[in-house]
Chain A
Amino acid sequence: MKKKLTFHDWEALSAFLDGRLSLADKSRLESRLTKEPELREGLEGLQHTRTLLRNSPKIRAPHNFTLTRQMAGMKEKQTPGYIYPWLKFSTVIASILFVFALLGDFFVNQTTPITPLQVHEMAPVALPNEEAVAEQEMSAAYPTMPLAGTTPIPTEAAAEKSFELSNAPMEPLPSTMPSVMEMEASDETEEMPVLSAPFTEEEDMQPREAVTASDIEGEMETGAKIPTSEMETMADQATQTEEIKPESSEETMAMGYGEAPESYPPSREINVWRVLQIVFGLLIIIFGVTAFFLRTKKII
């Protein structure tokens, strides 16, 4: 006949499995286990149940349970307090600047007679007239010589013409012919050698110095050494150089665009407005990018 185990027996068996019995209780239970098969079977049943539970499938978390700052009740990181209100309204400020720039441009178009755009459009029209005047002046001064920068003469015709000029007994020409290109080349036009004066044998041994237009004038005044025919030619040349000079250098370059008619508004006022527009545009970009950044980071 099987002996039924009491709860006290089960409790002792459970504690015996975990090694939680005192030495006395442990020795007493061990002696009973040798005598009572029911107790031994109960122990084996509990032992396998415990083994089954300890080897039960491990459950893994389906996802991470890490906390966000919001879940933890913490405030999101914010920008410094003094700058935050400005950044918060960056979108609004960018929009206002954009509208102001557009309306301002429209207003200026209505009130200002000519805008920089119109000046640019008009400038190319004025340029040919100035060039034509310059051409006429140059052709009047040098009827037989082609000018650099003007209508090119075909190569063969130019060769023939130069051949004729070199063979024909004509009045002496200056060894160096001032051309538009040469005059444009540098600001040292006054220093540029325009004429080589004839030297005596003694002078020929000395190093030559460049003769400038001012030198020529000086010599003309003193009436030194230069022959009369050449002197006249040089005087014409010097006069021509002086006449062409203002048109030949920077002013010639700037004539088409920089020198606006008197009816045009001063260029400084136009540039100020353009600078303002550029500043507004940059501010719009900065505020727009700032707004985008803040939206992306969800700061606002």
Chain B
Amino acid sequence: MDETALITAAKQGDLDSFNRLVLVYQDMVYGHACRMMGDAHEADDATQEAFISAFRHIHQYRGGSFRGWLLRIVTNACYDELRRKKRRSTLPLEPVTDDDESNDEMPWMVDQGERPEDAVQRKELGNAIQHCLDKLSPDFRVVVILVDIQGLDYQEASFTINKPIGTIKSRLARARLSMRNCLQSFRELLPSSFRLIEEGTK
């Protein structure tokens, strides 16, 4: 059964058809939520909320990119969660130790378990990217996630966040520049080709 037929059946209340769509898109939606939230548990909640909301409002889907429609819903869920998180945030801005001193060891680089060296480096690179994404404001973050990580084109990104293409273009340029500057501080984690280029630009 193709995607259109599944969507049509889901619009008629067929939960099984919708769950088949969920199985197709859950990695993408969860990955997007994870990048947006920077926390696995919050991403889990946002993803589940997004799918529930999608099923309840699937009759509002008027065609086009179903992936973009789902990403819009999960992006809105992430925005809501980030707003709630901002209101109740009590964590210090700087990571500190028990002695109230600044912790030089960055928590996003702490390895949570034993794994082979390659996996460690890969994990740390992912953590570094996430750290740089977290530094971006949500409006810029969502654009770079949609275009550079999820691989959407400008039209789909525009549809997803309901902004004009010009806005996508400018936000993407600013986000990429910020990411480039941020990733320079993790030069030792970057691939050798990237390091050579970065060293050459200095």
Contacts and interface: CB of A to CB of B under 8 A. Distances in A.
A35 interface: no
B47 A65 contact: yes
A48 B200 CA distance: 13
Sorting the interface of chain B by its residue count into under 10, 10 to 19, 20 to 34 or 35 or more gives 35 or more
Contact of A67 (B52, B126, B151, B177): B52
A46 B180 contact: yes
Given A52-B194, A67-B22, A72 B149 contact: no
A20 interface: yes
Given A45-B198, A56-B126, A15 B173 contact: yes
Q: Is the interface of B mostly helix, strand, loop or mixed?
A: helix
A45 B194 CA distance: 8
A71 B52 contact: yes
A45 to B, nearest CB: 5
Contacts of B173: 7, 10-11, 13-15
B91 interface: no
Interface residues of A, number: 36
Nearest to A51: B194
Nearest to A8: B173
A281 to B, nearest CB: 42
Interface of B: 13, 15, 18-19, 22-23, 26-27, 29-31, 34-35, 40, 44, 47-48, 51-52, 55-56, 122-123, 125-126, 129, 144, 147-149, 151, 153-154, 169-170, 172-174, 176-177, 179-180, 183, 190-191, 193-194, 197-198, 200-201
Given A14-B172, A20-B169, A45-B201, 6 more contacts: A49-B179, A52-B190, A53-B129, A62-B40, A67-B52, A72-B52
